[in-house]
Amino acid sequence: RFVNFLSAALDAMKQTGPTLTPEAHASFVAVVMSAYTRGTQMATGRAAAPDAVLLDALENAMEELITGAGKRPLSAMYSTCIETFKLVDAEARRAPPSSESLEKTLAAPIWCLRSLVKSFGVSKAVRTATQEHAEMVMDSCARVLNVAAKTPGANALVLKTLEIAYEFAKLGARCELSTRCVSRMCQLPSVARASTSVIDDDESSKAVFAQACELLGSLLKARREHLRRAVSNVTVTCSRLLDDLRRLKASGAPDDVIRACAAKLSYVYEAAESSGLERYCTHLLADIISAITGGGIGVVAERALKPGVFALLDACGDRELQQLHAALGTGAGGARRVV
């Protein structure tokens, strides 16, 4: 019955045009988000979401609410989501949350933000509201990610938060961000895969690692000018992702998980080479050589990383390669075995 009511309301909106007042628009958004939250609570499984029929109706409603809205209602939607994220961070500082409470509080705001950023090209109002709130959204995502990554059973929320950052990253010049904001976005993968992060299972591990690498690769491709002024964050984040590969190997993770994660990290190295980091690729290559020759990541990861290694080699000149040989020597094969 709710789906039928929602469909009737949408039909009326389509026929009369975007005539909702800001207050009526906010009320309609609240109803849709409340329904999404309730649908998520009734669902089961790791990637809980409302059932297909309800989800389709809710997404149609959200699309209509975004498409026909002006800047003021859209800004209100962004502000509501941002305030919810800040509230979760504040409450987590007082007491560690459960995955159930996080899912109940964050499911609808995360869905709303993803819908908003994916609708970036729909209208000028959407673009303006997104531009004005982009940096606040990223700051809030960083807070939520820090909480969710340390909460058992919350890997799905970590994945969805990284997806929001990825959507903003790939907008590139269409949505301007400051170097400070891009630099902070570059740190999100290392937060999601830190040594203190909780991994629910192998599938969650693979999915979160892959999305973290997709985010970093997208930043390297679409935000290269910013990252050239904050390149140390790239090298540090890549180093921490390598450390995570070591932890996966040490924990006895299946070969297919290690292979998939290493292949995604290889994609990041290829993106680093194509983004023109130039001499900084030598630092990335040195980290890989140390990880491979140290024996910490295993043969499976070593093979999966090879495309990235070759890409970084292409970015290094003779002088840089000589420096690698001199610095890493020939112990356990050293640079000579890899390079």
- Taking only the tens place, the pLDDT of each residue in 262-289 is 999 999 999 988 887 777 788 888 888 8
DSSP symbols for 115-173 = HHHHTTTS-HHHHHHHHHHHHHHHHHHHHHHHHHTTSTT-HHHHHHHHHHHHHHHTTGG
Structure-model confidence comparison of residues 194 and 334, the more confident one:
194
> Structure pTM?
0.88
Contact 204, 155 (CB under 8 A): yes
111: left (phi over 0), alpha (psi -120 to 50) or beta: alpha
Q: Which residue in 29, 51, 50, 30 sits closest to 40, CA to CA? A: 50
Q: What backbone phi and psi angles, to 5 degrees, belong to 227?
A: -70, -20
Structure-model confidence comparison of residues 25 and 93, the more confident one:
93
Half-sphere exposure of residue 336, counting CA atoms within 13 Å on the CB side?
A: 6
> What is the distance between the alpha carbons of residues 328 and 339, in angstroms, rounded to a whole number?
11
Structure-model confidence comparison of residues 303 and 318, the more confident one:
303
Identify which of 27-41, 78-92, 263-277 has the greatest average pLDDT. Answer: 78-92
The mean pLDDT of 149-153, rounded to a whole number, is 93
> What single-letter DSSP state applies at residue 318?
H
